[in-house]
């Protein structure tokens, strides 16, 4: 069965610094997709970034990048130049031929 693990329940980062949120996954299927979502205190789920298992390059979307290490089965989210508005829960998720399976999330707090 597929599994997503986020080992950091909470993280703090100084404004304007970079931060890495960890995500490891487990699947035997060679074809899968990895996603990161942001959930601010208002509650909505916001899609941030996607990485396919066959993608040769790490995905980037503005200040977000995904550090994909396939052999280690990790898909860490890197947020550069943190802003106060980045304070939120962040969820890693994986999709195969099944619905998205989510990790437990990491709460990021950005400090001024």
Partner 1 sequence: DAGVIQSPRHEVTEMGQEVTLRCKPISGHNSLFWYRQTMMRGLELLIYFNNNVPIDDSGMPEDRFSAKMPNASFSTLKIQPSEPRDSAVYFCASSVRVLNYGYTFGSGTRLTVV
Alpha helices in 1-112 (DSSP H): none
Distance of alpha carbon 85 from alpha carbon 29, whole angstroms: 36
Site for partner 1 contains 104 (CB under 8 A): yes
Q: Could you say whether residue 105 binds partner 1 (CB under 8 A)?
A: yes
Rg of the Cα trace of the chain?
13
Q: Using CB under 8 A, which residues numbered 38 to 67 contact partner 1?
A: 43-45, 47, 50, 52
Identify the bridge partners of residue 67 per DSSP, sorted by sequence position: 76
| DSSP tag of 56 | S
Task: For the CB of residue 25, give the shortest distance to partner 1 in the complex, in Å.
Answer: 14
Task: Give me the residues that bind partner 1 (CB under 8 A), please.
Answer: 31-33, 35, 37, 43-45, 47, 50, 52, 91, 95-97, 99-105
């Amino acid at each position: 069965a597929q599994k997503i693990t986020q080992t950091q329940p909470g993280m703090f980062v100084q404004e304007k610094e970079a931060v890495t949120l960890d995500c490891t996954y487990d699947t035997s299927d060679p074809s899968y997709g990895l996603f990161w979502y942001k959930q601010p205190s208002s509650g909505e789920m916001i899609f941030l970034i996607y990485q396919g298992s066959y993608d040769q390059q790490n995905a980037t979307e503005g200040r977000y990048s995904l550090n994909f290490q396939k052999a280690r089965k990790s898909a860490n989210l890197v947020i550069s130049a943190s802003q106060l508005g980045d304070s939120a829960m962040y969820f890693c998720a994986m999709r195969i031929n099944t619905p998205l399976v989510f990790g437990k999330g990491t709460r990021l707090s950005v400090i001024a």
